[in-house]
Structure 1
Amino acid sequence: MRVQIASEPGRPDRDNEDFAAAAPGLFVVVDGAGAPAGVASGCEHSVAWYAHNLGGMLLAAARDIGVGLDEALAIAIERVNALHAGTCDLGHPGSPSATVAMARVNGERLEHLVLSDAVVVLDLTDREPMIITDDRLARVITRLDESAELSAVGSREHTERLRSRVERLGSYRNQPGGFWVASTKPEAAEEAFAGSTPLGELDAVALLSDGASRLADRFDLMSWLELLAVLRKAGPTELIARTREVEASDPDGARWPRGKASDDATAVWWSAGD
């Protein structure tokens, strides 16, 4: 099995809040949901700590193919809870959280799971690729942000708006009619998007954090077929490098409004024929 993985922080002076790993027939990407400075979390641990521990627990739980991917995610959330229940307020609405993308070979099928805005891209034989992501967070943000006008990334106004958004999102997180992420509620795993595909219909699979999918789903500079072509020919490192070039061309977010000028970016690529 040949798997390619690349992960890079959005800024060299900050921790990478993404996690990626693979085991035989199993692939995991966890994207920690960072928050602006000043937003309380009730937790003494960082978002990177949460994402990396959740990823490790998830990899361990999902290696048992008798356990469903949603069940594995619930188990991993419970196990991370146990690591810091004695030191942190797990009932706080700002507790560290993360998005998740997983894929696993089980017999003659590839299973997948996505929770929140991570992305699984199935490169299908003789068909258009299948894109699996969860847009419920984006829909809530659209409802919250009445003004379409965004200030320059990094400006005081931009930071204040992001802080206000994150605080308001707390009442929608892991709630019916809101959005679902991995945090402290194991039942959030039941809300993940999951399915499976026959291996015979699959050429490859990509797992992407939203920082690595931007060229296709935020900047609209690539089709998904073109993104897959980059991964196939040059691998995840090249995809992230091209993303950084585009981000650097628009540092203030004037052309592509966004929360961060550069986000942590992680990509896992597996060719089914390898």
Structure 2
Amino acid sequence: MKVALDSQSAEPGRENEDFAAAASQAAVLLDGAGVSGAETGCTHGVAWFSSTLGGLLLSTITAEPARPLARCLADSIRTVRCLHEDSCDLVHRASPTSTVVAVRAHGGALEYLVLGDSSLLLDDKAGGATVITDSRLNEAGKRLRGPLDVLPTGSPEHVAALAEYRDALTGLRNLPGGFWIAGPDPQAAEHALTGVVPVGSLASVTLLSDGATRLVDRFELADWREVLAVLGSSGPADLIRRVREAEAGDTEGRRWPRGKTHDDATALHWVLP
């Protein structure tokens, strides 16, 4: 496998809650959800949750290549729950959660799973670019974030509105009509987007957290073919550098309203033979 990976925390010295890793013919990316410094009910924290779940999931999908990805994710969620349910409050409204992207090449096919607002970018040998994103989280957010987006990012008013927004969004988590994300309940895995693509039709596969997709889906400074060109020529670190440059030019979110000036950003780029 030829894999290039870069992951950067939102700010220097701050814990990175993204996780990405690759093994033989498989890769995973998770973007942990939490509020820095806030009570979550978990003594371990969001970064522990995303990295523990991600490591278990990668191990499972490589050890059991015939087992469906959604079932592997459910088993991994169940195992993580067992690891900390005796010491942590898993019914707490802010209990750690995470998006999940997983891919596995087996028998000439690339299986994929996407849960939450991280993305999978498929580079077709014919020149097409297909992005697979679970849009339910963003759709739920759009219904709630109107009062938030008119305020300068980081202002006291924005901080208060962001807390209200996150609380309202939590009320839609893992419910019909809301959105689905990996947390304490293994049943969330049943609602992931899954599919199969012939491996031979692909030039590369890229897993991206929403902090790394901002250049396209929020800032609209590039399209997916341009992102693939950057990844192919200078790699994930340069993609994230371009995201950071755009963020630095709009620190108050006047041009691009957003909850955080900077976000953890991760890109895993797998070039297929």
Identity over aligned pairs, percent: 46
Per-residue deviation, 1:145: 2.8
- The equivalences for 1:214-253 within 5 A come to 214-253=214-253
Distance 2:148 2:127 in 1: 36
Q: Which residue of 2 aligns with 1:62?
A: 61
Per-residue deviation, 1:3: 0.6
Q: Which residue of 1 aligns with 2:51?
A: 52
> Does structure 2 retain, via aligned residues, the 8 Å contact 1:35–1:163?
no
Q: Which residue of 2 aligns with 1:18?
A: 18
Instruction: Identify unmatched segments of 5+ residues in structure 2.
Output: none
> Does structure 1 retain, via aligned residues, the 8 Å contact 2:42–2:96?
yes
Distance 1:144 1:254 in 2: 18
Q: Deviations over 1:211-239 (max 9, x none)?
A: 01110111100000000110011111111
- The equivalences for 1:25-40 within 5 A come to 25-35=25-35, 37-38=37-38, 40=39
Task: Assess, with a 3 A threshold, how the Cα gap between structure 1 residues 148 and 10 changes in structure 2: closer, same or farther.
Answer: closer
> Does structure 2 retain, via aligned residues, the 8 Å contact 1:36–1:163?
no
Aligned structure 1 segments of 4 or more residues deviating by more than 6 angstroms: none
Distance 2:267 2:20 in 1: 8
Secondary structure (helix, strand or coil) at the match of 1:82 reads: helix
Distance 1:137 1:198 in 2: 28
The one-letter code matched in structure 2 to 1:83 is L
TM-score normalised over the length of structure 2 = 0.96
> Does structure 1 retain, via aligned residues, the 8 Å contact 2:40–2:93?
yes
> Does structure 1 retain, via aligned residues, the 8 Å contact 2:122–2:204?
yes
Q: Which residue of 1 aligns with 2:203?
A: 203
The one-letter code matched in structure 2 to 1:57 is L
Per-residue deviation, 1:150: 2.5
Q: Deviations over 1:175-230 (max 9, x none)?
A: 11110000011010011111111011111110000001110111100000000110
Distance 1:99 1:86 in 2: 24
The one-letter code matched in structure 2 to 1:165 is Y
The one-letter code matched in structure 2 to 1:183 is G
- Aligned-residue Cα RMSD (Å) equals 1.3
